[in-house]
Amino acid sequence: MSDIIDDLSWRGLIAHSTDLDALRAATSAGPITLYCGFDPTAPSLHLGNLVQILTVRRFQRAGHRPLALVGGSTGLIGDPKMSGERTLNPVDLVHEWVERIRGQLAPFFDFEGDNAAVMVNNYDWTADVSVLEFLRDIGKHFSVNRMLDREAVAARLAAGGISFTEFSYQILQSFDYLRLHQQYGCVLQTGGSDQWGNITAGVDLVRRVEATSVHALATPLLTKADGGKFGKTETGTVWLDPAMLSPYAFFQFCLNVDDRDVPTWLRTFSFADRATIESREEATRDRPAAREAQRFIARELTALVHGEGERDAAEAAGRALFGQGDLSGLPAATLTAALSEAPHVILDPADVVDGLLPPYDELLARTGLVASKAAARRTVDEGGAYANNVRVADPGDRASTSDLHHGTWLVLRRGKKSFAGVRIATDES
């Protein structure tokens, strides 16, 4: 069990710790109980949350017991942001998001055995606490001076102010650690380094109330080598909910990780052993064009988040759409998800005459695969245009409605790397 601390250190997953030697001694002595919290401030968790989820999962795989906390009460308040005051979400909506996030967290943990995980909701121990009780029993242990030192609070005060609601968030989160320590014997809280002030405030509260020491550990906030924000695409957040970001898009995002970010991704997200990870890092250095590590990351991470079936379908879709597999074998949902996120055009039914779609040169131009019909004709003449992975011989040829995959999609491709979709408008589309 002591190996967990060494493993996290090697992976670069320890940014802060209250006392790493003491934590190592505690984990070496036997199973400990730890927790990490996830606030329902959106209907889905995202890639940044996955860093924390998998860190806690590593502890469970090492024999320790995790408490997965969904913040039904803290989610009603919201942790202060540097940018400004949050808009409070309706209570019913937050409760709905709690259930969605519980469902997303559950597959990552084992809820049976000696170190079975427990799912908890801090709304359960805060909803019935009166204001006077909270202020007298909990609030009295907090120094306003120390709370003002927190970076986000200081920035908000400098920019114009912060509500008492958000200012009190630290007290509310600290109360979680105290209650989990009292009820479950929890002695470790983990989280991102941006939560370090809140986490250590909880450590201090347990010490003051229970006269005992507990631990805290924070992972670093990940940033991309190109300066972009980790877990963001050009179109937005990398959500874990397949309804908000398809498994195909998730797989492709992982597949396109920058070579410079490969070591961080491997060590943060993979459960492979050290030798395997180092061999993948070496492959990236020696054979970057092969993108072996990126494919390894995409396969492992998509299976973790969406399951092996969705991983295999997403991988097959990628091969087929780039001309390396059979389009007809792709599930309708996977094909639709992939083409909906790619360039595509929706034809008016009036564009379809006697079951025939417009000529290929028009479709290639309308999808944006080429700049114009003249460019489309040149692409066809050069042998670089494909419809359903079959080379287009004549720019004036037309596909028929019987050529549409699942009765819905025609797949166009230019060369090896650019594809687009064509579908006919329906009431649903």
Q: What pLDDT, on the 0 to 100 scale, is given for residue 155? A: 83
What's at 253, amino acid-wise? Answer: F
Q: What CATH number was assigned to the domain covering residues 232-325?
A: 1.10.240.10
Q: What pLDDT, on the 0 to 100 scale, is given for residue 427? A: 63
- Architecture of the 3-219 domain: 3-Layer(aba) Sandwich (3.40)
Q: Tell me, what DSSP letter sits at residue 287?
A: -
Q: What pLDDT, on the 0 to 100 scale, is given for residue 428? A: 60
Q: Which CATH superfamily is domain 342-424 in?
A: RNA-binding S4 domain (3.10.290.10)
37 is written with which tokens? 């919290």
Q: What pLDDT, on the 0 to 100 scale, is given for residue 211? A: 97
Mention every residue, 6+ apart, whose C-beta is less than 8 A from residue 417.
Answer: 322
Q: What pLDDT, on the 0 to 100 scale, is given for residue 183? A: 97
Q: Give me the residues paired with residue 34 across strands.
A: 66, 188
By DSSP bridging, strand 236-237 and strand 385-387 are unpaired
Mention every residue, 6+ apart, whose C-beta is less than 8 A from residue 96.
Answer: 43
Contact of 102 with 70, CB cutoff 8 Å: yes
162 vs 412: CA distance, rounded Å: 53
Contact of 232 with 284, CB cutoff 8 Å: no
pLDDT tens for the chain, 429 residues long, are: 458 999 999 999 999 999 999 999 999 999 999 999 999 999 999 999 999 999 999 999 999 999 999 999 999 998 888 778 888 999 999 999 999 999 999 999 999 999 999 999 999 999 999 999 999 999 999 888 888 887 778 888 888 888 888 888 999 999 999 999 999 999 999 999 989 999 999 999 999 999 999 999 999 998 888 877 787 776 689 999 999 999 999 999 999 999 999 999 999 999 999 999 999 999 999 999 999 999 999 999 999 999 999 999 999 999 999 888 889 889 999 999 999 888 999 999 999 999 999 999 999 999 999 999 999 999 999 999 999 999 999 999 999 999 999 999 999 999 988 999 999 988 665
Query: Where in the chain are the domains?
Result: 3-219, 232-325, 342-424
Cα–Cα separations (whole angstroms), residue 307 to 240, 303, 311: 12, 4, 6
Mention every residue, 6+ apart, whose C-beta is less than 8 A from residue 395.
Answer: 359, 360, 361, 364, 373, 376, 377, 380, 381, 385
Burial of 130 (0-12, 13-18, 19+ CB in 10 A): exposed
Mention every residue, 6+ apart, whose C-beta is less than 8 A from residue 372.
Answer: 365
Cα–Cα separations (whole angstroms), residue 204 to 34, 161, 170, 211, 214: 16, 26, 12, 10, 9
- The DSSP result for 352-380, as a single string, is -BTTEEEEHHHHHHHTTSSSSHHHHHHHH
- The DSSP result for 9-43, as a single string, is HHTT--SEES-HHHHHHHHHHS--EEEEEE--SSS
48 vs 240: CA distance, rounded Å: 10
Phi, psi torsion values for 344, nearest 5 degrees: -155, 160
Contact of 36 with 191, CB cutoff 8 Å: yes
Three-state secondary structure call for residue 419: strand
338 vs 317: CA distance, rounded Å: 8
